[in-house]
Amino acid sequence: MADRLARRLHRVPPTIFTTMSALAARTGAINLGQGFPDQDGPPSVIEAAVAALRGGRNQYAPGPGVPELREAVARHQRRCYGIDLDPADQVVVTAGATEAIAAAVLGLVDPGDEVAVTEPYYDSYLATIEMAAAVRRPVGMRRVGEEFRLDVDALRATVGDRTKLLLVNTPHNPTGAVLDATERAAIAEVAVRHDVVVVVDEVYEHLVYDGRRHVPLATLPGMAERTLSISSAGKSFSFTGWKVGWVTGPAELVAPVLSAKQWLTFTNAAPLQPAVAHALDHETAYVEELAAGLQSKRDLLCDGLGKLGLDPVRPEGTYFTLSNVSTLGWPDAMSFCEALPGRAGVVAIPTQPFYDDADAGRHLVRWAFCKETSVLERALDQLSNADLTA
């Protein structure tokens, strides 16, 4: 079969999330790998979806999304960030953030163009950039003491006149970093200087901890006209299986995204779109409680992994923590994660697939804490009773 695979996919391995969730299913291990909550989102949102299913909302939604969701997204951006958008041509609903990222890259980038991207990167970025036949230019997030920070010197050295697009993720999966004011200013500075379009994946916008606030890059001076912002109901409302996302920005940039998107899915999830509109308008309290609960779960998991000598980073946002398994003598994260179900009945994610720079990610393992407290406690219990050395 491999010889029939199109060349554009030769450098794209199968997604690690499928591989590791299959490993969890096969071994019955606790899945702290793929990032999905083990509890549904708000009941009122499910009821809104049921009402839409029963109420005849079952045919194609308009290509850019149903008007009530586009309007709700615009209201959300205004309320949370003071960003003004015209729902008619500055908001497009997508099949999750994944399609928004793909449509942004395919709609704005030509073969051979350079795309600078924060590294480690969510794996669909790699696939999308390869499928667009663009040239990937990673900009590292590096561990500095107890946290990960954007390497702003590398950013300045990488982004230049050849850069067509800068793809940024904040809050950042998998490092948990939330870009700070200095990092945001550096991104704005290079983007404006080199007239680069910035695509910001903000799917974890509401999952930030210790009183932090997510500040969209689109709100920085000179950035509104060059920034596309992407989010998704999957993370904010715990409906990852619905795959309802959106992209917002200036009409001149949203139009190319829609041009590509219309040929990817055209449209999706018609009855779920009004339910997500309901969530954005009425479930703010759910999101706040979700973030508060996740902060406690973060502390539970990080404290537990720390006691086991796994050296975890306490993330500022997202629902992942990274730990370094070199301290336990492992040659790389992949071998640790392959052994972990047998040793401890737990699955985690090796981060090597998220790096061009194999050395930088070699020993980093990602653990998800978007799980019930009892599940995290059981996982920690199993880990503490296992031999985790190489």
Binding site for ligand PMP (CB under 6 A): 35, 96-98, 122, 169, 173, 201, 203, 232, 234, 240, 243, 245
Rg of the chain taking only CA atoms, in angstroms: 20
| Min dist. Cβ of residue 355 to ligand GLN (A) | 15
Closest residue to ligand GLN using C-beta atoms:
35
| Min dist. Cβ of residue 173 to ligand GLN (A) | 5
- Cα distance between residue 307 and residue 321, in whole Å: 15
Closest residue to ligand PMP using C-beta atoms:
96
Interface residue with ligand GLN among 19, 31, 34, 351 (CB under 6 A) is: 34
- Cα distance between residue 313 and residue 331, in whole Å: 20
| Min dist. Cβ of residue 138 to ligand PMP (A) | 15
| Min dist. Cβ of residue 141 to ligand PMP (A) | 12
Phi-psi region of 8 (alpha: psi -120 to 50; beta: other; left: phi over 0): alpha
> Smaller CB distance to ligand PMP: residue 98 or 388?
98
State yes or no: residue 35 binds ligand GLN (CB under 6 A). yes
Interface residue with ligand GLN among 118, 158, 170, 173 (CB under 6 A) is: 173
> Smaller CB distance to ligand GLN: residue 40 or 86?
40
State yes or no: residue 81 binds ligand GLN (CB under 6 A). no
By CB atoms closer than 10 A (0-12, 13-18, 19+), residue 234 is buried
| Residue with tokens 């393992």, as numbered in its chain | 365
And the tokens for 19?
């591989």
> Smaller CB distance to ligand GLN: residue 274 or 353?
353
State yes or no: residue 17 binds ligand GLN (CB under 6 A). yes
| Min dist. Cβ of residue 124 to ligand PMP (A) | 7
Q: What is the largest CA-CA distance in the chain?
A: 58
And the tokens for 368?
């998800």
Binding site for ligand GLN (CB under 6 A): 15, 17, 34-35, 173
